[in-house]
Amino acid sequence: MLWCVEHVLKDKLAGFESGLRQGVWLFLVTALFFAGCKKQEEKKPDAPVLPAVHADRSQDKAYRSALMESREQQARQARELLALSLKMTQCVTRVRATLPPEATADALQKALQSDQEWATLDTQLKQAEATVKETRKQAEALVRQRMQQELRDNKAIEEGKATALEPSQPVQPGVGK
DSSP string of 107-166?
HHHHHHHH-HHHHHHHHHHHHHHHHHHHHHHHHHHHHHHHHHHHHHHHHHHHHTS-EEPP
Reply yes or no on whether the pLDDT at 175 is more than 50.
no
Give a yes or no: residue 85 inside a domain.
Answer: yes
Classified as helix, coil or strand, 68 is helix
Mean pLDDT computed over 75-96 = 95
Give a yes or no: residue 28 inside a domain.
Answer: no
Give a yes or no: residue 35 inside a domain.
Answer: no
**Degrees to nearest 5, angle at CA 92 with 89 and 95:** 150
Give a yes or no: residue 6 inside a domain.
Answer: no
User: Domains in the chain: how many in total?
Assistant: 1
**What's 63's DSSP letter?**
H
Please report, for residues 49, 53, 147, 170, 177, the alpha-carbon distance to residue 152 in angstroms, rounded to integers and kept in the order given: 18, 10, 9, 19, 10
CA 170 to chain centre: 6
39 confidence band (pLDDT: 50, 70, 90): low
Reply yes or no on whether the pLDDT at 1 is more than 70.
no
**114-166: pLDDT as tens digits:** 999 999 999 999 999 999 999 999 999 999 999 999 999 999 989 988 888 87
Percent of the chain at pLDDT > 90 equals 51
Question: What confidence score (pLDDT) does residue 169 get?
Answer: 52
Q: Over the chain, what is the mean pLDDT?
A: 82
Reply yes or no on whether the pLDDT at 5 is more than 60.
no
6 confidence band (pLDDT: 50, 70, 90): low
CB 52 within 8 A of CB 162: yes
Residue range(s) defining the domain that contains residue 87: 52-164
CB 99 within 8 A of CB 107: yes
Task: Give first-to-last CA distance, the chain, whole Å.
Answer: 103
Lowest mean pLDDT among 7-21, 48-62, 98-112: 7-21
Question: Position 168: which residue type?
Answer: S
Give a yes or no: residue 146 inside a domain.
Answer: yes
Give a yes or no: residue 70 inside a domain.
Answer: yes
Reply yes or no on whether the pLDDT at 3 is more than 60.
no
Question: What confidence score (pLDDT) does residue 177 get?
Answer: 40
Please report, for residues 11, 65, 135, 164, the alpha-carbon distance to residue 75 in angstroms, rounded to integers and kept in the order given: 108, 15, 11, 34
Reply yes or no on whether the pLDDT at 66 is more than 60.
yes
Most confident of 2-6, 101-105, 171-175: 101-105
